């Protein structure tokens, strides 16, 4: 399927034979381990504690055997500059996770790190259809959150016209789209829906009245059903981008026009999948936690960093039909910490979303509410009906059907209520809150 999307930002590196990529990884892995040991107090101490010298480590397997990991807690305990491998004055830009669950984790970058981030983000943007002729609107926040700047550094490397609108002010976002002829935008997934709602309130149909036909989305877990809805609302082909602050931000990997997994940039990251409970490495097609080793980071290298994101390496042919050779991973299905446990049963919020979005009369907004009644865990799922308001009896019939469908998937029967369109709270800036767990008195979404 050759079309204008099948072009590259860096053809040579994006189509390098797998054997050559593996050789680059091996060489860079040994270099980054030595560099981290020599320059980071944290890594010197951690490796010394295990009696490991970088020169004795032949491959990642030696670190697997030693159960060596870096965790988010290590980053928090080292806050703010304990993980640095360069003098502080070499750091030119910094980002932070939201920190709603405690001390934030930081992403720290030298000038070279920013160029590398721009390179991977540009490859991902071009994979999503961005060209130098586009007007590209950035709707994630340009601030401590790494989302906005990742798209910015990438778009600078591509050389398009950038509209750095940043987060919020939805009416103004739509006005900019109309005034500047925006052809592509980047967003947190749920914001693509919010923008379409605001456009509708302004009497504008995003699919017909704007020039936006391309979109790149990240930061939230989303199902195929959600993608279908975004694509209908905006008349576009949505692309998935992956990344997180501690590595850089968006750009670590991206799905191509085949839409069957995300190519992750192997010349920058060595990626493993491990059992989240035991830490044991898993093989292709086995679902587990993604673990990243940065192969080129100067300011804050990370060795075997546990991402808490659940995915799997696809057992796909060495070269994708899009021409890229970098290994593909399944779209992120869940975060380890988002798993809900209800009376001994475990489930992911995305399993609920998949069932809800099969119903064409239901809108994309929903809320999973977990609470305790008489010492028993209960789950209530509220989901909005679409524009046409359903009658009382239709609503209760549909709610009953959904409760049964969810029972089959979750193995317990939740309460389901169908609520009016636009009645659930919306998030203007940041990630949607779809799970409210009263048992913990906190939201599970960071
Ligand atoms: Zn591909």
| pLDDT, greater one: 273 or 319 | 273
| Residues above pLDDT 90, as percent of the chain | 71
Q: What's the sign of the alpha-carbon dihedral 316, 321, 325, 329?
A: negative
Give the predicted TM-score (pTM) of the model. 0.86
The mean pLDDT of 259-278, rounded to a whole number, is 96
In the structure, ligand 1 is a single-atom ion and the residues with CB under 5 Å from it are 256, 258, 320, 322, 324
Same domain membership, residue 353 and residue 326: no
CATH number at residue 332: 3.40.50.12780
Distance from the alpha carbon of residue 320 to the mean position of ligand 1, in angstroms: 5
The mean pLDDT of 72-99, rounded to a whole number, is 94
Distance from the alpha carbon of residue 2 to the mean position of ligand 1, in angstroms: 12
Please give the pLDDT value at position 57.
94
Distance from the alpha carbon of residue 100 to the mean position of ligand 1, in angstroms: 35
Same domain membership, residue 344 and residue 299: no
Same domain membership, residue 304 and residue 183: yes
Distance from the alpha carbon of residue 387 to the mean position of ligand 1, in angstroms: 36
- Please state, in angstroms and rounded to a whole number, the distance separating the CA atoms of residues 385 and 359: 10
Which of 319, 336, 353 is the endpoint of a domain? 336
Residue 444 has pLDDT above 60, yes or no: no
Same domain membership, residue 303 and residue 354: no
Residue 370: name the closest of 351, 353, 349 by CA. Answer: 349
Q: Is 433 left (phi over 0), alpha (psi -120 to 50) or beta?
A: beta
Which of 272, 301, 336 is the endpoint of a domain? 336
Say whether 281 sits in a helix, a strand or coil.
strand
Q: What's the sign of the alpha-carbon dihedral 402, 403, 404, 408?
A: positive
- Please state, in angstroms and rounded to a whole number, the distance separating the CA atoms of residues 289 and 32: 22
Q: Which residue has the tokens 């979750």?
A: 410
Distance from the alpha carbon of residue 264 to the mean position of ligand 1, in angstroms: 10
Label residue 425 by pLDDT band (50, 70, 90).
confident
**Taking every pair of C-alpha atoms in the chain, what is the biggest distance, in angstroms?**
71
Same domain membership, residue 199 and residue 125: yes
Question: Which element (helix H / strand E) includes 353?
Answer: helix 349-356
- Please state, in angstroms and rounded to a whole number, the distance separating the CA atoms of residues 391 and 51: 69
Distance from the alpha carbon of residue 349 to the mean position of ligand 1, in angstroms: 28
Question: Which element (helix H / strand E) includes 270?
Answer: strand 269-274
Question: Which element (helix H / strand E) includes 368?
Answer: strand 362-373
Distance from the alpha carbon of residue 254 to the mean position of ligand 1, in angstroms: 9
Distance from the alpha carbon of residue 243 to the mean position of ligand 1, in angstroms: 18
Distance from the alpha carbon of residue 242 to the mean position of ligand 1, in angstroms: 15
The mean pLDDT of 213-234, rounded to a whole number, is 88
The mean pLDDT of 175-179, rounded to a whole number, is 98
Distance from the alpha carbon of residue 281 to the mean position of ligand 1, in angstroms: 25
CATH number at residue 389: 3.30.300.30
Same domain membership, residue 384 and residue 283: no
Name the least confident of 98-107, 409-418, 434-443. 434-443
Total domains present in the chain = 2
The encoded tokens of residue 385 equal 């009906």
Distances (CA, A) of 359 to 183, 217, 333, 383, 399: 30, 23, 21, 11, 11
- Please state, in angstroms and rounded to a whole number, the distance separating the CA atoms of residues 157 and 132: 9
Same domain membership, residue 276 and residue 165: yes
309-326 tens-digit pLDDT: 999 999 988 789 999 999
Show the domain range for 49.
1-336
Same domain membership, residue 50 and residue 169: yes
Cα-flanking dihedrals φ and ψ of residue 371, to 5°? -150, 175
How does DSSP assign 48-81, residue by residue? HHTT--GGG--SHHHHHHTT--B-HHHHHHTTTT
Residue 361 has pLDDT above 70, yes or no: yes
- Please state, in angstroms and rounded to a whole number, the distance separating the CA atoms of residues 391 and 407: 24
Residue 165 has pLDDT above 90, yes or no: yes
- Please state, in angstroms and rounded to a whole number, the distance separating the CA atoms of residues 134 and 203: 25
Same domain membership, residue 215 and residue 180: yes
Cα within 13 Å of Cα(63), Cβ side = 26
- The CA dihedral of 352, 354, 358, 362, to the nearest 10 degrees, is 50
Distance from the alpha carbon of residue 261 to the mean position of ligand 1, in angstroms: 8
In this structure, what DSSP letter does residue 362 have? E
- Please state, in angstroms and rounded to a whole number, the distance separating the CA atoms of residues 106 and 84: 10
Distance from the alpha carbon of residue 258 to the mean position of ligand 1, in angstroms: 6
The mean pLDDT of 101-108, rounded to a whole number, is 87
Distances (CA, A) of 394 to 2, 27, 358, 418: 46, 63, 16, 10
Same domain membership, residue 358 and residue 214: no
Distance from the alpha carbon of residue 125 to the mean position of ligand 1, in angstroms: 13
The encoded tokens of residue 437 equal 């767990």
Which of 313, 336, 359 is the endpoint of a domain? 336
Same domain membership, residue 308 and residue 365: no
Say whether 89 sits in a helix, a strand or coil.
helix
**What are 70's strand-pairing partners?**
305
- Please state, in angstroms and rounded to a whole number, the distance separating the CA atoms of residues 196 and 421: 13
37-63 tens-digit pLDDT: 999 999 999 999 999 999 999 999 999
Q: Residues with Cβ < 8 Å from 237, sequence gap 6 or more? A: 129, 213, 214, 215, 231, 257
Same domain membership, residue 313 and residue 209: yes
């Amino acid at each position: 399927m050759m079309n204008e999307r099948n072009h590259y930002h860096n053809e040579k590196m994006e189509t390098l034979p797998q054997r050559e990529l593996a050789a680059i990884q091996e060489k860079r892995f040994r270099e980054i381990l030595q560099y981290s040991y020599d320059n980071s107090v944290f890594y010197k101490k951690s490796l010394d504690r295990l009696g490991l010298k970088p020169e004795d480590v032949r491959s990642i397997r030696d670190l697997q055997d030693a159960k060596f990991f870096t965790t988010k807690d290590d980053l928090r305990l080292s806050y703010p500059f304990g993980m640095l491998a360069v003098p502080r004055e070499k750091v030119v830009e910094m980002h932070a996770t939201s920190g709603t669950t405690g001390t934030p984790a930081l992403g720290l970058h030298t000038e070279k790190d920013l160029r590398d981030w721009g390179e991977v983000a540009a490859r991902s943007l071009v994979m999503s259809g961005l060209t130098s002729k586009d007007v590209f609107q950035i709707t994630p926040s340009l601030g401590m959150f790494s989302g906005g700047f990742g798209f910015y550094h990438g778009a600078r490397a591509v050389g398009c016209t950038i509209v750095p609108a940043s987060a919020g002010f939805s009416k103004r976002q739509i006005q900019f789209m109309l005034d500047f002829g925006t052809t592509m935008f980047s967003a947190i997934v749920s914001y693509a829906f919010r923008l379409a709602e605001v456009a509708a309130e302004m009497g504008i149909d995003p699919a017909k009245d704007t020039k936006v036909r391309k979109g790149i989305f990240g930061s939230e877990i989303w199902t195929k059903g959600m993608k279908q809805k975004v694509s209908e609302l905006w008349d576009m082909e949505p692309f998935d981008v992956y990344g997180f602050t501690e590595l850089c931000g968006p750009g670590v990997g991206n799905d191509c026009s085949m839409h069957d997994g995300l190519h992750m940039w192997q010349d920058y990251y060595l990626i493993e999948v491990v059992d989240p409970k035991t830490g044991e490495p898993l093989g292709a097609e086995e679902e587990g936690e993604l673990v990243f080793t940065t192969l080129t980071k100067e300011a804050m290298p990370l060795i075997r960093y546990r991402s808490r994101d659940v995915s799997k390496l696809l057992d796909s042919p060495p070269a994708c039909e899009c021409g890229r050779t970098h290994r593909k991973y399944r779209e992120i299905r869940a975060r380890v910490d988002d798993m809900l446990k209800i009376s001994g049963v475990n489930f992911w919020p995305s399993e609920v979303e998949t069932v809800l979005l099969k119903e064409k009369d239901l809108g994309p907004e929903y809320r999973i509410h977990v609470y305790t009644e008489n010492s028993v865990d209960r789950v209530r799922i509220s989901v909005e009906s679409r524009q046409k308001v359903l009658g009382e009896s239709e609503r209760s019939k549909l709610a009953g059907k959904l409760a049964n469908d969810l029972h089959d998937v979750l193995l317990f029967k939740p309460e389901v209520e169908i609520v009016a369109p636009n009645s659930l709270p919306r998030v203007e800036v940041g990630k949607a809150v779809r799970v409210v767990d009263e048992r913990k008195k906190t939201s599970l979404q960071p």
